[in-house]
Amino acid sequence: MEFIRVPQLNANEDEVQVVEVAVSEGQKVKKGDLLCTLESTKATQDLEAPVAGYVRRLAVEPGEQIAVGELICALTKRPDEPVETMQERRPRASSKGEVRTTRRAEALIEEYDVDIDKINHSGIITERDVLQLLGISRDDLRAPTDRPGGPSATIDEGRKDGIVVYGAGGHARVVIDMIREGRRDLHLVGLIDDADDGPQQVQGVPVVGDANRLHELRERGVTMAALGIGAVTHNALRAELFERLVRLGFELPNIVHPDATVESSVRMGQGNQIFAGAVVSSHVRLGDNSIINSNSVVSHDCTIGDHVHVTPGALLAGGVSVGARTVVGMGATVYLGVEIGSDVVVPNGTDVHDDLRDR
Q: Which residues bind ligand JB2 (CB under 6 A)?
A: 167-172, 193-195, 198, 229-232, 237
d(CA 271, CA 307): 9
- Bridge partners, residue 187, by sequence: 162
Tell me whether residue 218 is exposed, middle or buried, using C-beta atoms within 10 angstroms of its C-beta: 0 to 12, 13 to 18, 19 or more: middle
Closest CB to ligand JB2 among 49 and 274?
274
Q: Residue 72 and residue 162: Cα distance in Å, rounded?
A: 18
Q: Which is nearer to ligand JB2, 193 or 301 (CB)?
A: 193
Sheet-wide strand order for 267-268 = 267-268, 285-286, 303-304, 321-322, 339-340
Select 33 or 194, whichever has its Cβ closest to ligand JB2: 194
- Residue number of the CB closest to ligand JB2 reads 169
Vertex 46: Cα angle to 41 and 52 (nearest 5): 150
DSSP string, 129-166: HHHHHHT--GGGSPPGGGSS-SGGGGS-TT-SSEEEEE
Name the residue nearer to ligand JB2 (CB basis): 131 or 207.
207
Strands of 97-101's sheet in order across: 92-94, 97-101, 124-125
Closest distance of CB 188 from ligand JB2, Å: 15
**DSSP string covering 252-286:** ---EE-TTSEE-TT-EE-SS-EE-TT-EE-TT-EE
Q: Fill in the DSSP letter of residue 288.
A: S
Nearest distance in Å: CB 86, ligand JB2: 27
> What minimum distance in Å lies between the beta carbon of 237 and ligand JB2?
5
Tell me whether residue 50 or residue 198 sits nearer to ligand JB2 (CB atom): 198
d(CA 311, CA 206): 27
CB of 11 to ligand JB2, least distance (A): 13
Number of H helices, E strands in the chain: 5, 33
Task: Give the nearer residue to ligand JB2 in terms of CB position, either 43 or 195.
Answer: 195
Rounded to a whole number of angstroms, the minimum distance from the CB of residue 184 to ligand JB2 is 23
Question: Shortest distance, CB of residue 268 to ligand JB2, whole angstroms?
Answer: 19
C-beta of 60 vs 322, nearer to ligand JB2 = 322
Taking the complex as a whole, the smallest distance from the CB of residue 348 to ligand JB2 amounts, in Å, to 13
Least spacing, CB of residue 254 vs ligand JB2, in Å: 17
Whole-angstrom Cα distance, residue 252 to residue 245?
A: 8
Q: Are 340 and 346 in contact (CB under 8 A)?
A: yes
Q: Which is nearer to ligand JB2, 273 or 281 (CB)?
A: 273
